[in-house]
Amino acid sequence: MCGIIGINGNFNHYKLLFEGLKRLEYRGYDSSGIAYKDKEIKIIKVPSSIDTLKKECQEFDSKVSLGHTRWATHGKVNKENTHPFISNHKLFCLAHNGTIDNYLQIKEELLKENYFFNGETDSEVIVNYLEYLYLKKQDVLKSIYLLDKKLKGSYSLLIISKVDDNLYFLKNQTSLLISKEKNGYLISSDLYAFNKNVIDYYELKDHEYGFVSQKEARVYLNQIKEKVKYKKIKVDYENFSSINCFLEKEIFECPRVIADLIAHYIKKDKILLPNKLIDKIIKAKTIFVIGCGTSYHAGLIFKRLLPNKNIKVVLASEFIYEKLTFDKDDVFILISQSGETLDVIKSYELIKDHFTIGLTNNKESRIARKVDINLDIMVKKEISVASTKAYFGEVVILELIARKINNKKVDDLKSLPKYLESTLERKEEALELAKEISKYSSLYFLGKGIDYSLALECSLKLKEVTYIHSEAVYLGELKHGPLSLVGKNFPSIIVSSQKELKEVIETSKSEITSRGGKIFEITSPFDYSLNYLLIVLFGDLLSLYVGRILKVNIDKPRNLAKSVTVE
C-alpha cells in the first residue's frame, strides 16, 4: 500500500520522479505528492492521481527530491492528509509507507509542546516528532535513531532536511530499497519504480536507517555503520504508455505465462519440485495454507486436490490472532502474489521454526527470502489491482505439488494453455452475459464442492472490478437463509464444473425460479479435467466486460491497492 520514491544526485528529478510514481501507482492512487529542495523545501500535492499532480507541477532542478502515491489508512482523502508532510518549523519533509500504532499517544505529547496538525494522519505526527527530537539533539541521524525507538508499527520513511542536502531514510516491516546509480542514488518501496532493466540495489533491513548523498550511501543499525553490499538483478519492464487496460492485458496473457510455468516445472513428463518439499508434505501431520484474497482462494483448491491429507486453509489476517498450537511436523504454505503481503509476513513470524514453503511472483520478495523453499509462480508483473493471472500460477503450482505426491500424470495439465486460449475465445459469450449482469446491483454466485471455491473468486473479481455487490454461497446452503434475498432484482450465477452434480443443480434452480429469481450459469463446454480453472478465467472476462459497461476505473478500483503492506 502506498509507494514512495526518493532521488539524490545529478538527475532530471522531475522526469525520474514522475516516471517512478507512475510505476508505483498500482500501490495506491487516492492522492499523490512530491517534494524537492531549492533554497527551501517545496511541496506540491493533490488529493488525486499522478496525472493531476503532474499538471500542477512545473519542471524543476534539485539535488534531492521525493514522491509519494497514497492508499489512505489514516484520515480522509484530502490535501491536508496527502503526503509529503512538512514539520511545524519547516526543518523536515517526510513521506511514509505503513501505519504507526502509537501515533495518537505521540500526537498528545506533541500537542503539549505546542505543535499543531493540519490533517489526521499518523505520518504528519512522525515528521513533527522527528523535528522535536532534532531541536533537542541537533543531530539528524541521532534523531532518526531515537524516532525508530519511539515508533510502533510499520514504516518506510524518506526524509528531506533543511539542514543539508542528504536524503534520509528509516525502514521497519515495509520494503525499502536503495539503487546505486552512476550519478547518485534512488530509493523506493519497489524495484519496479527504478525504470531500468539491470539494477544494483541494496534492500534495507528492519530498523536500518541512514542517508544517501550524490556520492555515498550510509546505512546504520543501532548507531553502528553497516557494510552496504549491492545485488545485481534483471527486471522485465514494459512501456506503460502503450497499455490502455492492464486487467485485459493480464487476462489474455494467462495462456502464455502458464505455458512458460508448466515448461519450467515439467521436463519429459517429470515434475521438477524439490524432494525435500514433497517429503515434508507427505510426512506432515497438518498442512496449513495461508493467504489473503485471491491467494486464499487458490489455497482452497489445494484442499480439494489432496482430500486424504489434513489441510487447513487459513486467512492470514485471522491466522495471526488465532493463538494456535502446532505439531513439530506441521508444514506451512504461504501464498502471496507480491511476496510482501504484511499479514502473510506476520503469519510467518509465528511459524518460522517450522518448515515453510512460499508461493510468490517475486523471488526477491521478503516472503521468498524468508521461507525454507520458495516456488516462483512466474506470471510476470501484475499491475491491475484485481489479480488474475497470479491465481492461475498459484493453482498450477499447487496442482504440481498434489500430482507429485499422488504420482499422477501431467498430460492434461500440459494441455491447460490450449484450453485457456479456447476459453478466451468465448469473449462474445462473456460480453453477452455481462450485458445482463450489469443491470443488477446485487447477486449470488452459487457453487458446490470445489465450485464454491470458484464462486468465491468469481464473486471477489466482480465486486472489486465493478462495485456490484456479490456474495458466494454454497449451493446447498441457499435454502438455509440466503434464499430470502432471491427475487427478480437479485439474480444468481451458478458456477458448475462438475457434470456429475447436474441433478442437484437442477433442484436448486427450481428453488430459485419458483420464487421469481433469475438464474445465469457459468460452465465449461469442454470435457476437460481442469474445467474449474477455465470457469475462473471466464469469470475474469465477465468482470472485465461488466466493468467496461458500467464505465468504472477497471485497473484502479476505489478504496483498493495492489500490494497490501499494512494490516
For the CA atoms of the chain, what is the radius of gyration? Answer: 25
Identity of residue 428: E
User: DSSP assignment, residue 194?
Assistant: G
Name, in order, each residue with C-beta under 8 angstroms of 159's C-beta and a sequence gap of 6 or more. Answer: 92, 93, 94, 127, 130, 144, 167, 168, 169, 170
Q: Which of 171, 280, 518, 562 is catalytic?
A: 562
Q: Is 245 a catalytic residue?
A: no
What phi and psi, each to the nearest 5 degrees, are found at residue 446? -115, 140
Q: Give the CA distances from residue 125 to residues 27, 114, 349, 540, in Å, rounded to whole numbers and listed in that order.
A: 23, 13, 28, 42
Identity of residue 296: Y
Q: Yes or no: say if 72 and 133 are a contact pair by the CB < 8 Å rule.
A: no
Q: Is 75 left (phi over 0), alpha (psi -120 to 50) or beta?
A: left
Alpha carbon dihedral 130, 135, 139, 143, in 10-degree steps, equals -30
Q: Which residues of 479-509 are buried (b: 16+ CB within 10 A; e: fewer)?
A: eeebbebbeeebbbbbbbbbeebeeebeebb
Name, in order, each residue with C-beta under 8 angstroms of 204's C-beta and a sequence gap of 6 or more. Answer: 169, 171, 176, 177, 178, 219
Alpha carbons 269 and 539: distance in angstroms, whole number: 30
Alpha carbons 258 and 544: distance in angstroms, whole number: 20
Q: Is 458 a catalytic residue?
A: no
Q: Is 85 left (phi over 0), alpha (psi -120 to 50) or beta?
A: beta
**DSSP character string of 27-48:** G--SEEEEEEESSSEEEEEESS
Q: Which of 2, 57, 254, 292 is catalytic?
A: 2
Q: Which residues are catalytic?
A: 2, 562
